[in-house]
Every structure is written in structure tokens, then in C-alpha cells.
Chain A
Amino acid sequence: MTARQSIKTIAVNLLAWALVLVISFPLIWMVVTSLRPQSELIRIPPSLIPKGITFEHYARMLWETPFLRYFGNSMILAVSTTALVVLIGTLGAYSLVRFTYRGRETLATLVLFTYLLPSVVLILPLYLLMVKIGLANTLPSLVIAYTTFALPYALWLLRSFMAGIPEDLESAALVDGASRIGAFIDVVLPQALPGIISTALFTFILAWNEYLYALVLVNSDQARPLTTGVMNMLITSFNIEWSLLMAASVMMSIPLIIIFTFLQSHLTRGFGAGGVKG
């Protein structure tokens, strides 16, 4: 490597990492803030380098706020939405990819169309509906509402994953006398499993992060998920405690960090194409 080339390499690296640090600064700052003593935060001018580290905000958030209940609600919500949507979506995607019947293409287009619909339009009738059937303020109302965006999303992802599975093995199984359902369970499902898992993880993220439906449909701490719950901590507090809010933000991102490390390889490899199509 010539001297000029290595200077260029160093320059590219410096530029790249400088940009990466600027982009991740808000999140780094969030973590730093959550670990600093309260006294350091309300100082003018503020200081960049923390002098001490404390976990008091995390302890207070866990034991003195409804954070854990919100966390539990979010977990129940995201897991049930994901399970429901992936189950229905896997069957539907298999049907869309492997069977021929009238209206199949129209149906596929409609699914894509629903995926683009604004939630703010659907929230009005859904709110009326939930009030009418007495589900308002419950977790099931949110699971139902979340399928409006989660099902088209999961279906579309699964469809592109399944379209990528070669038909040969399935046909061979059919020739060998397997039933269509048998071939689906023994041949298609194992091959589709990585795609199904990624879809489940992405759906979980969507449900975990949802805000608008939760804001409108749930108005009690019993059923409130993290997104509206943490925002409520900001709005209702007389004295905004930023360190507490930052600690809550970090905690609520931890499941996403775990999922993200699983998905990372998919994101930058083959998944990209499917991800673009939504």
C-alpha cells in the first residue's frame, strides 16, 4: 500500500466515524444523562463530561413509577399482536405465492394499499367501534387496532420471503404422494422459518413502538403501554425530571437493542430488497 493510499484510508475512516458519532450522539447523550446525578444536570452552563455515575434514576423509575406495569403491558401487546399476525400472515402469504385463484393479484395489491393507509384515518371509526363493543381501555382493543398495520406489513414481508423459496422440493414432495398441507408443514415451513422469524421480530418492533392508537384507545394505567405511559410521565410531572425520562427511554429501548443484534445481518444482506418493498 502506498503512502497516499493509506492516508486516503485514514481520511475515509475518520470522516465515516465522525459522522457515525454525530448521528448516534442523541442516543449516547440519552444514556449519559440517565447515569448522571441530578445535581449535574441542572447546572448552567451544562457540562459534557459526567463526573460521577449513578443508577439512582433507574432504581427510582423501577420502584416509584408505574414503569414496570407499562413494560408488562407493552410486552403482552407486542407478543400477542406478533403471534396473531404471523400465524394469519404465514397462511395468507403461502396462499398468495403458491395458489392460483381469481382475484389473487387484486388481493395482493389491496394488501399493499392497506399498508400505506394513514392510521389517523382508521383511528376515528376504530375508536367508535371499540367504545360501542365495550373494548375501549383494554389491551385487546389495542391488539385489534395493531393488526391494521401489522398484518399487511407481515403479509407483505412473508410474501417476498416465500416467493424466494424454490418450488422444486415442494413439487417433489407432492409427486412422492405428500398432501399439500403435509408438504407445507414438512417442506415449506422449515425453509421459510428464517423469514418468519425476521418478520416476527420486525412486527414486534412495530407493535412495541406504536403510539397513536395507544394514545386514543387507552386512557388508564391498567392498559397503558410504554410509549404513552412514558410520555404521560413527562406531561403529568410538575417538575420534569429529565434523568428519569432518559432512564425510561433507555430501558424501553433494551428489547429493541436485543432484537436489533439478531436482525443486523439480515438488514445489510439480502433483506434489503424485501425491506424496500415494505
Chain B
Amino acid sequence: MTDSQISLRADSLPKASLSLERRYSLLGLLLIAPTVLVLSAVIVYPLCFAIYLSLFSIYTPTLQGSWVGLDNYAQVFGSGTFWFSLFVTLIWTAGTLFLQIVFGVAMAVILNQNIFLRSLARSLVLFPYFISTVVAVLAWRWIFNDLYGILSFILIKIGIIDMPLDFLGSMPNAMVSVIAVGAWKFFPFVVIAVLARLQTIPEQLYEAATMDGAGPIGRFFDITLPQLRDVLTIVILLRAIWDFKEFDLIFLLTGGGPLNNTRTLPLIVYQEAFGLNRMGMAAAYAVAMMLIMLAFMLIYLHRARERPA
């Protein structure tokens, strides 16, 4: 008798197990209790507290404040600062996400071939995703350095520019640099997801297409891409959410400059709270930012629940 037969019988045991069932669900609740407690304390409560804070005017160093109602929100939505920052955030998100997807899919397809030392190549490609953003930013700021940086040197050598470029201190260079470094740091996530999916596409599909006379490009668009549709939807949603809320990379590369031209919404929240010492305003910015993200989050939750892991 196989194990599955036993389990089938165990499932259909007499109804006398009702009290056992109840005991089981009590045990289940007991096991989840620590999770619920911790998440309530560190997430649910702070989240409600943040919304509450947004209705006050609070001076960060003393934490003294007074009730202002919806004034903070009126200021947030009434000033150009928020809308410009939202615009900057969308440019950053769209730009870096686009590069991540294109390079991620391309690299996954290449790493799926039988290349020399494949597992070493994979490790090297995936590694930027696992290092600290601090390390990534330091490495890039050294490459971008205006005096001794290797990038300007190489670009001059091959004749693209004739003067060292200011990669982070002027526009549009700063935005392009931030988007590029973001793509470099986060595209391996796309590679991991797509590579795992590529390995499950049946070889027969390609053989059949080859016999029908499809070339490599035709095979990519007719077979690979449709097969990747589901995984790409999830990856795009996740990365859109994560890129939208990215703080470390932009803060450490440009600090939002030059002249706030790369200051995304998360950076404003930080600056309001700990630079301008306006905790209430910061909370209002944070809540506004979350409302925008909520749309993406709900779509993602919907998709993720449709196809549970």
C-alpha cells in the first residue's frame, strides 16, 4: 500500500474526529500567533500611527506637535514639489524597469545556452543583485569619479567624448546614471526568474518550430516570449513596486540632486522627516506615496493569489 492511499484513508476517518479538527485549528492558531503579534507590533500599529502622524505638525528633534487636520495633505497636493517628485519617480521607475526587463530577458536567454563555464558566468551575472547597495554605489561612484574615474577615461579613449563628464552632478546625466546603475543592480532578479522559467519550456516546441522553418529570432518571439508571459507579468509588477519605493540607491548616488532633479518620493519623505524636521509633513508624503503604490500592490496581490506558489 502506498503512502497516498494511507493519507486518503486518514482524511476520510470517521466524523468522531471533529473535536480533533477543532484541536488542530487551535494548534494552527497557536503556531501563527507569534507571527501575528510581531507583525501587528512592527507593521500594523506603525502603519496606523503613520497615518495618524500625518494629521499633525511635528518638530522632529523635540517630537512636540500640534493637530493640523488635513493641512499637511493640502500642502502636499497643493505644491508643485509633490507633483514634480512624482514625475521624477515615474521617470526613474519606467526607465530602470525597462532596462532591467530587456537586459534581464536577453541575459537569461544567453545564460540558458550551453556556454563555456556556464555556472561561473551565471554567478558573475547574478552577483550585483546580492551585494549591498552601499557597495554597488561606492564602486560606481569611483567609476564615475570626475578626476580619476575610469569611465570618462575609456569614453575619451574611444572618442565618444573629449572632456571628462560630470555623471552625477548635472542633468540629464544624473538621471541617466541613476537609471543605469539601478538597471545594473536589479536586472539579475529578472534573470533568475526568467531563467527558471526557460528551463521548463519543453524542447519539443522548439524542435517543431525549427522543422517549420523558424529561425532563432522567430523561435524567440513565437515560443519563448509567449511562454514567459506569466512570469514577466509578475516580475514587472514586483519590480515596479520595488523600484518605485527604492531609497538607498538614489539617496547614496545623488542624494536627490542636482537641484532635486533625481529626488524621488521616498527621498522627500526622508528629507522632510530628518532634514527639514517636519515629521507630520513627511508622514503625509509617505501616505500619499503609498496610495499611489496601492494600485500596483492590489494588482500584484490579485495575480499572486490567482497562481499561489
Q: Which residues of A contact B139 (CB under 8 A)?
A: 26-27, 29-30, 246, 249
Residues of the A chain whose Cβ atoms lie less than 8 Å from the Cβ of B293: 116, 118
Q: Convert A205-247 into 0s and 1s, putting 1 for each residue whose CB lies closer than 8 angstroms to a CB of B.
A: 1001101100010000000001100110010000000100110
The interface residues of chain B lying within 8 Å CB-to-CB of A118 are 245, 247, 266, 286, 289-290, 293
Residues of B within 8 A of A45 (CB): 153, 156
**Nearest CB to that of B269 among chain A residues?**
A120
Judge if B217 is at the interface, Cβ distance under 8 Å: no
Q: Which residues of B contact A15 (CB under 8 A)?
A: 110
Q: Is the CB of B195 within 8 A of A44?
A: no
Summarize A's interface: helix, strand, loop or mixed: helix
A205 neighbours in B (Cβ, 8 Å) = 130
A33 at interface by CB-CB < 8 Å: yes
- B235 contacts partner chain A, Cβ-Cβ < 8 Å: yes
Give the bracket for the number of chain A residues in contact with chain B. 35 or more
Which residue of B has the minimal Cβ distance to A211? B248
* Chain A min CB distance to B183 (Å): 11
- Contact-residue bracket for chain B: 35 or more
If A124-B50, A211-B132 touch, does A249 touch B138 (CB 8 Å cutoff)?
Answer: yes
Mark each residue of chain A from 104 to 139: 1 if its CB lies under 8 Å from any CB of chain B, else 0: 100101111110111111111111110100000000
Contacts of A41 in B (CB 8 A): 148
**With contact pairs A114-B39, A125-B53 given, residues A227 and B28 touching in the complex (Cβ less than 8 Å):** no
Partner of A95, one of B28, B63, B305: B28
Q: Which residues of B contact A (CB under 8 A)?
A: 2-4, 6-7, 9-11, 24-25, 27-29, 31-32, 34-36, 38-39, 42-43, 45-47, 49-50, 53, 63, 107, 110-111, 113, 115-116, 119, 121-128, 130-136, 138-140, 142-143, 145, 147-150, 153, 156, 184, 192-193, 195-197, 199, 231, 234-235, 238, 241, 245, 247-248, 252, 266, 269-270, 273-274, 279, 282-283, 286-287, 289-290, 293, 297, 300-301, 304-305, 308-309
Q: Report 29 cross-chain contacts, Cβ distance below 8 Å, ordered by A residue.
A: A26-B128, A26-B136, A29-B139, A30-B138, A30-B139, A43-B148, A96-B32, A117-B290, A118-B266, A121-B50, A148-B43, A151-B38, A151-B39, A155-B35, A168-B2, A168-B4, A168-B7, A171-B7, A172-B6, A175-B9, A181-B27, A211-B248, A226-B134, A252-B134, A257-B127, A260-B127, A267-B122, A268-B122, A272-B197
